[in-house]
Amino acid sequence: MKYCVAACFAALLFLSNLSSLRAQQDSTVAPSPSAAPDFGQIQGNFQAVFQTYNQDSAISAVVPPEQSTLNAFTNLIYTRGKFSAGMRYESYLPRQVGYPGRFAGSGIGYRYASYTMDELSVTIGNFYDQFGQGLVFRSYEERNLGLDNAMDGIKVAYQVMPGFVVKGVYGKMRFNFNDGLINTDSYVRGIDGEINLNELITKFNESSTSITIGGSFVSKYQRDNRSDLVLPENVGAWAGRFNLYRGNFGMSAEYAYKINDPSADNKYIYHDGQALLVNMNYTTKGFSLNLDGKTIDNMSYRPDRTLQITDAMINYLPAMTTQHTYLLAGTFYPYATQPLGEVAYQAEVGYKVKKNTKLGGKYGMDILVSSSQAYAPDKEVVNDLETTRLGYTNNLFGTGDQLYYADFNATVKRKFSKKFNATAIYYNFVYNNDVIAGARQLNGEEVVGTVYADVFVLDMNIKTKDKHNLNLVAQYLSSDQHQGDWASLQAEYSISPHWIFAILNMYNFGNDIKDDRLHYPFGSVTYVKNANRISMEYGKRRAGIFCVGGVCRPVPASNGLTVTITSSF
Amino acid sequence: MKSILSLSLVLLFAVSISAQSGTKKLPAVNVKDLKGGTVSTGKFNNNGKPIVISFWATWCGPCKKELNTIAEEYSDWQEETGVKLIAISIDDTRSASKVAPYVNAQAWDYEVYLDSNQDFKRAMNVNNVPHTFLIDGKGNIVWQHNNYSPGDEAELLEQIKKLTGK
């Protein structure tokens, strides 16, 4: 099948090439570039990450038996007028250490063709899409993280009238790759409608209030494969949502409901699932206030009830905490939604101190304060495993006693002169590792209890001369739990627009275990030309989201050499 | 083996066809404006003047540095070249609600759209953010840059000036 797709694609391109060659010959006779026929266009991108691994038992670095790994992909998209076709060739030879297990070998992992005619657009093959905020359906990819739940089937979108769009999706979901795409056996189908009142009703066109409403229904089918339980083979979920904006005020909400869906995630209980997301924001020039609230109960939803972790998820349950980019704040104690249930809040205030004031100086100063908490849901366990198997009773809008996570942070950013600016940030994290289970010791031992951590970051930019810039980042993490105190210092020297040199060291000086008071030195050289980028990195790394050379990318723990090439064409 | 063969064929033709066609048109994909309305990227226009399209996210430090740096000079750029900057946020549902407040707090004068499920990012073949494109007055992609280091904005301005002949 995959050979056929690639061959058909090659044939298609070959034909367009032949005709364009002919066109070129013609044009030597009568050169008229303005009347050049449209042969469509090819675009694409490429990424390859080659990594070698050194033995390093001190940091428990994993060395694969092959000693080197290669993750690569190429996307090709052919577009001609309203027609478009594309494919992705993927290679995991073998996959990078730390990359999820569902990626092996080389082959075509994604291919599609689509066309748009007037109000109708049709896609066959693979596609990604989401309904509303994704509470009942989101098909998504994040290649650097190893997340890919592409749909494989048919998608149809139809604009019934201006301001009213209906979308339908039907297919199987990707869950594995082994020299080619492997989908789950089960089916996922869904329909979504969205109405923008301002476009739909002419009277509202010029209104200062803008309102969008939407609703979706999704269903999955999987055969009942258990003899001891009677399982629902068709599991439906629906959601309703609205967005409202008036002047400086905005509000959005989405509610989702799922019927009982016994699965490995919820230990095969017959409880239904619910989720609610609410956001309110108020902004004026130089000021912003953002409030979020969320409650989730038993909303894990997969095409295959036996799958877990990040395998084939039909929906998306966003975490209501900020994703931090600095090393010690972002990669140590990050939070992920607990799909079985949680209640979370977030408040964020941004303020820009005006220019030419005492506090703001010549250029002004930015202040951002943010606070978020996630709690256990309000539920009571019921011992009914031999009877109704509902598992618990709950109050969706109540908050349980247990704190899962808290993050308070304050950022101050100020430009002092044309040559110098600085950012200072304070963070406070409370991380319940009994629930989130992300923090481990170097030997893999689990950390019991809650981790409390304070993090301080100072980021300074010094323009040394025209197009030359020195960026210094000093970070300090203070904690009495887990691995104790850490410090890190990073220096990055860039010569725009081509070169970036960086060195970094992280030092776990406060670890209770003396042998684990280790340094993690790291260096990199990056060359950028337009959309081509080559970087070489060498050193020791903890797992996490890494931001060096101007780009943020999640990487696993390792000790060794990494060569990354990315390109868009 | 067969798949490698067909892949290299595809690559070969891809390279030759893109060398022939030269210019690349902006793809038409739907993105959302900050008030929830749907906009096709095929309708992006600046009355025949150049457009800068910059992919960013609220969690991406270098992206924010780039857009905040340009923001300081943006009115001069507009005056000199007539350029328009369109910032495309790839924040997903987790942080998409923070885009409008951030943009307002920073007082950006850009057009900002949300590409929550990365349809436009995919269509534009963006690997990582920040990734910045320059589009000429006819909707052709004429220059792109993946990365941001302080000073890169000068290179972008040079490219814009080259286009407008100033």
Partners of B125 on chain A (C-beta within 8 Å) are: 43-45, 75, 77, 568-569
d(CA A331, CA A325): 8
d(CA B109, CA B90): 19
In a domain, A215, yes or no: yes
**C-alpha closest to that of A111 among A164, A180, A178:** A180
- For B21-67, write each residue's pLDDT tens digit: 457 888 989 999 988 888 999 899 999 999 999 999 998 889 999 99
Interface residue A285 vs chain B (CB under 8 A): yes
Q: In the prediction, which pLDDT does A44 show?
A: 94
Structural domain of residue A17, as residue ranges? 1-29
**C-alpha closest to that of A349 among A400, A254, A284:** A284
A373 token code pair: 């908490």
Higher pLDDT, A442 or B17: A442
In a domain, A217, yes or no: yes
Burial of A345-363, coded b for 16+ CB within 10 Å and e otherwise, reads bbebbbebbeeeeeebeee
Pairing, β B84-89 against β B111-114:
parallel
CA distance A176 to chain B (A): 19
Does residue A139 sit in the same domain as residue A232?
A: yes
For A290, the closest of B35, B97, B117 (CB atoms) is: B97
Q: Would you say B36 and A210 are in contact if contact means Cβ atoms under 8 Å apart?
A: yes
* Contact criterion met (CB < 8 Å) for A494 and B151: yes
Question: Which of A284, A315, A346 is the C-terminal boundary of a domain?
Answer: A315
Dihedral angle sign, alpha carbons of residues A139, A140, A146, A152: positive
Does residue A21 sit in the same domain as residue A115?
A: no
In a domain, A226, yes or no: yes
* Contact criterion met (CB < 8 Å) for A469 and B144: no
Partners of A24 on chain B (C-beta within 8 Å) are: 20
Burial of A13-28, coded b for 16+ CB within 10 Å and e otherwise, reads bbebbeebeeeeeeee
In a domain, A221, yes or no: yes
What's the average model confidence in pLDDT over B94-117? 90
Does residue A11 sit in the same domain as residue A136?
A: no
* Contact criterion met (CB < 8 Å) for B146 and A320: no
- Structural domains of chain B, ranges and CATH numbers in brackets: 25-164 (3.40.30.10)
Q: In the prediction, which pLDDT does A123 show?
A: 97
Does residue A9 sit in the same domain as residue A134?
A: no
Average confidence (pLDDT) per 10 residues, chain A, 569 residues = 48 44 42 60 94 87 91 95 94 89 94 93 96 94 86 96 94 96 96 93 82 96 92 97 92 96 94 96 90 94 89 88 85 83 94 90 91 93 88 90 95 93 96 84 82 97 94 97 94 95 96 92 95 94 54 64 95
Does residue A118 sit in the same domain as residue A256?
A: yes
For A469, the closest of B34, B92, B150 (CB atoms) is: B150
A28 token code pair: 């030597």
* Contact criterion met (CB < 8 Å) for B37 and A199: yes
A463 token code pair: 């323009």
Q: In the prediction, which pLDDT does B10 show?
A: 57
In a domain, A152, yes or no: yes
Does residue A309 sit in the same domain as residue A180?
A: yes
In a domain, A22, yes or no: yes
Q: In the prediction, which pLDDT does A170 show?
A: 98
Residue B28 buriedness (CB in 10 A; 0-12 / 13-18 / 19+): middle
**C-alpha closest to that of A442 among A546, A539, A513, A509:** A513
Does residue A118 sit in the same domain as residue A260?
A: yes
Does residue A146 sit in the same domain as residue A261?
A: yes
* Contact criterion met (CB < 8 Å) for A20 and B129: no
Q: Would you say B153 and B70 are in contact if contact means Cβ atoms under 8 Å apart?
A: yes
d(CA A563, CA A313): 31
Nearest CA in chain B to A77: B123
Complex ipTM: 0.87
For B105, the closest of A350, A463, A567 (CB atoms) is: A350
Bridge partners of B45?
Answer: none
C-alpha triplet A309, A310, A314: angle, nearest 5°: 110
Q: How many domains does chain A have?
A: 2
CA distances to A334, A413, A549, B7 from A472, rounded to whole Å, are: 24, 14, 13, 44
pLDDT tier for residue B19 given thresholds of 50, 70 and 90: very low
Pairing, β A41-52 against β A68-80:
antiparallel
Does residue A18 sit in the same domain as residue A144?
A: no
Does residue A251 sit in the same domain as residue A105?
A: yes
B75 token code pair: 């009115």
CA distance B82 to chain A (A): 23
Interface residue A421 vs chain B (CB under 8 A): no
- For A393-430, write each residue's pLDDT tens digit: 999 888 988 999 999 999 999 999 989 999 999 999 99
Does residue A127 sit in the same domain as residue A253?
A: yes
Candidates B33, B58, B60, B93: best to mutate against A (most CBs of A within 10 A) is B93
Does residue A216 sit in the same domain as residue A105?
A: yes
- The enclosing domain of A203 has a CATH number of 2.40.160
d(CA A86, CA A88): 7
Question: Which of A315, A349, A383 is the C-terminal boundary of a domain?
Answer: A315
Q: Would you say A150 and A171 are in contact if contact means Cβ atoms under 8 Å apart?
A: no
- Percent of chain B whose pLDDT exceeds 70: 86
Q: In the prediction, which pLDDT does A36 show?
A: 59
Provide the Cα torsion A454, B59, B156, A532; round to 10°.
Answer: 100
Give A193-215 as a DSSP string. Answer: EEEEHHHHSGGGTT-SEEEEEEE
Bridge partners of A467?
Answer: none
Q: In the prediction, which pLDDT does A35 show?
A: 52
Bridge partners of A172?
Answer: A152
In a domain, A380, yes or no: no
How many C-beta atoms lie closer than 10 Å to residue A543's C-beta? 15
Interface residue A382 vs chain B (CB under 8 A): no
For A196, the closest of B36, B62, B127 (CB atoms) is: B36
* Contact criterion met (CB < 8 Å) for A569 and B18: yes
Interface residue A530 vs chain B (CB under 8 A): yes
In a domain, A304, yes or no: yes
Partners of A352 on chain B (C-beta within 8 Å) are: 105-107
* pTM of the predicted protein model: 0.88
Burial of A325-343, coded b for 16+ CB within 10 Å and e otherwise, reads bbbbbbbbbbbebbbbbbb
Q: Would you say A416 and A422 are in contact if contact means Cβ atoms under 8 Å apart?
A: yes
Question: Which of A315, A338, A355 is the C-terminal boundary of a domain?
Answer: A315
